[in-house]
Amino acid sequence: MAGDRENFSSRLAVIMALAGSAIGLGNIWRFPYMVGKHGGGAFIIIYIVCSLLVSLPVFFSEVVLGKYTRRGALGAVRKVAPKWSWAGYMGIIASFVITSYYSVVGGWSLDYFVRSIFGGFKGLSFEASAGIFASMSASGWETLVCFFVFLLLTAIIVAVGVDKGIGNFSKVMMPLLFLMIVLIVIKSMSLPGAKQGLEYLMKPDFSKLDGPGIAAALGQSFFSLSLGVGCVLTYSSYMKENEKIVPTGLWTALFDTFFALLAGFAVMPAVFSVEGMEPGAGPSLVFETLPVIFSRMGTVVPIIFFFAVLIAALSSSISMYEVVVAWLVDEKHISRKKAVPLVFVAAAVLGAVCAVAPKVFSACDFATSNIFMTLGAFVFSIVVGWIMPEEAVRSTFSNRIYPFVRFLIKWVAPVAIAAIAVTNLL
């Protein structure tokens, strides 16, 4: 069986696929807002420290698990630590739930991309824009159709296969995504709000950096690197034997952070170019404020921006979808061609509920990003740090860095995650 398993054909495909999973809506609407809210440059410093000391070790743990077992989330955990199998199931469920509600937002970006092509935002006022968003998200059929099409696009890429579908899509789309966001940054930086926007993002204010701020930095870093739900684990199970995992991890984290900063440089100057505008988190920023500002810069800018949002969302949704498909293929011995439609039907049902019931949507978001991801990340580091045979872990790293990485996986990551989880509960 193991010999038949699919593989990514090149290092570039692995890095681009991992970067694709990491770079998503979290970078575009969550990161810029979190930075501004939690002390600008001070938050960025803590974010980078958390990424290096906690997230990267968790990332490496997932890579080790996937690469060593050549199985998806459940098979991998079950093979090395049968008692912790529940964490494998949890990863699959979390990935499934994220696929469903994330695709609703993916559907909105598809809707906005199509609207921008037809010049739907020309001369738009802020009130009218808020009205468009409210009526779109409240109108059952429009949201549902766009959600289905987005989910279908995700399913098609996954159905084509690991290398030909996910790998090729990522190799072409990720560089294009960078190019698009750089173009928007250049445009945005020429706006009158550029200085204020940059200040909001970069000026360090250490007084705002309290316990919740640090917890937010770690949470954002987990979400952004797609950790704790088995995405990195599953993609890593398709790596070739000789893949160098430390540089791969570092490149992914670097691309992800760089992209988040670029998104901040694209979004914040635009927001501050309007008198009295406050940067709001989430959908209101991307779908209400930005269409107005970007459409004032010409017809093409909103088209590029919403295409970028769409691609970023798609490259992430395929990674969650693949976690569920890998489970059906590895553990239930169902072919990929059959597994993909099965997941589609199930995700279409849950997603449709999320699309029309905002409370279900928020509950899914809260449970996955605050509970499942943290718990999953904790378990992956414990399994690799404490339970897996040490030889298997050692052979993945060079002798020089192994002791350091081991210390991070075994002690720093689980202790930091537990400490932050406890602080959040108190």
**Which positions lie near ligand PHE, rule CB under 6 A?**
21-22, 24-27, 98, 223-224, 226, 229, 231, 316, 319-320
Phi, psi of 242 (to 5 degrees): -90, 15
State the Cα–Cα distance between residues 232 and 303, nearest whole angstrom. Answer: 31
Rounded Cα distance, 392 and 379, in Å: 18
Whether 385 and 61 have beta carbons less than 8 Å apart is answered as yes
Residues 6+ apart with CB under 8 A from 252: 15, 18, 19, 22, 59, 225
Between 101 and 265, whose beta carbon lies closer to ligand PHE?
Answer: 101
- Output the smallest distance, CB 102 to ligand PHE, in A: 7
- Nearest approach, Cβ of 128 to ligand PHE (angstroms)? 28
Indicate the length of the chain as a whole number. Answer: 426
Of the two residues 59 and 121, which places its CB atom closer to ligand PHE in the complex?
Answer: 59
CA separation for the pair 101, 363 (Å, rounded): 10
Using CA atoms, how far apart are residues 52 and 57, in angstroms rounded to an integer? 8
In which residue are the tokens 């038949």 written?
A: 4
223 versus 306: smaller Cβ distance to ligand PHE: 223
Nearer of residues 29 and 272 to ligand PHE, judged by Cβ = 29
Rounded to the nearest 5 degrees, what angle is found at the Cα of 26, between the Cα atoms of 256 and 260?
Answer: 40
Contact 233, 61 (CB under 8 A): no
- Residue 39's region, left for phi above 0, alpha for psi from -120 to 50, else beta, is left
Pick the closer one to ligand PHE by CB: 104 or 124.
104
Residue type, 362: S
Cβ distance to ligand PHE smaller for residue 26 or 197 = 26
Rounded to a whole number of angstroms, the minimum distance from the CB of residue 344 to ligand PHE is: 18
Beta strands in 300-357 (DSSP E): none
Least separation, in Å, of the C-beta of 244 and ligand PHE? 23
- Residue 199 or 365 having the CB closest to ligand PHE: 365
Q: Which is nearer to ligand PHE, 109 or 319 (CB)?
A: 319
- Residue 27 CB, shortest distance to ligand PHE, in Å, is 5
Q: One-letter amino acid identity for 184?
A: I
| Spatial distance between the Cα atoms of 36 and 209, rounded to a whole number of angstroms | 11
- Looking at the Cβ atoms of 120 and 280, the one nearer to ligand PHE is 280
Least separation, in Å, of the C-beta of 147 and ligand PHE? 17
Q: Quick check: 356 and 143 in contact, CB under 8 A?
A: yes
Tokens, residue 241: 């034997």
Structure-token pair, residue 82: 């049968």
> Residue 74: which residues within 8 A CB-CB, separation 6 or more?
85, 88, 89, 91, 92, 327, 330, 331
Nearer to ligand PHE, 188 or 368 (CB): 368
Q: Using DSSP, state whether 39 is helix, strand or coil.
A: coil
Residue type, 383: V
Closest contact distance (angstroms) between CB of 249 and ligand PHE is: 15
Supply the minimum distance, in Å, between the C-beta of residue 231 and ligand PHE: 5
Contact 15, 233 (CB under 8 A): no
200 vs 235, beta carbon nearer ligand PHE: 235
Closest residue (Cβ) to ligand PHE?
24
Shortest separation between residue 22's beta carbon and ligand PHE, angstroms: 5
Task: Compute the least distance from the CB of residue 259 to ligand PHE, in Å.
Answer: 9
Closest of 421, 9, 21 to residue 253, by C-alpha: 21
Smallest separation, CB 246 to ligand PHE (Å) = 20
Residue 426 one-letter amino acid:
L
End-to-end CA distance of the chain: 48
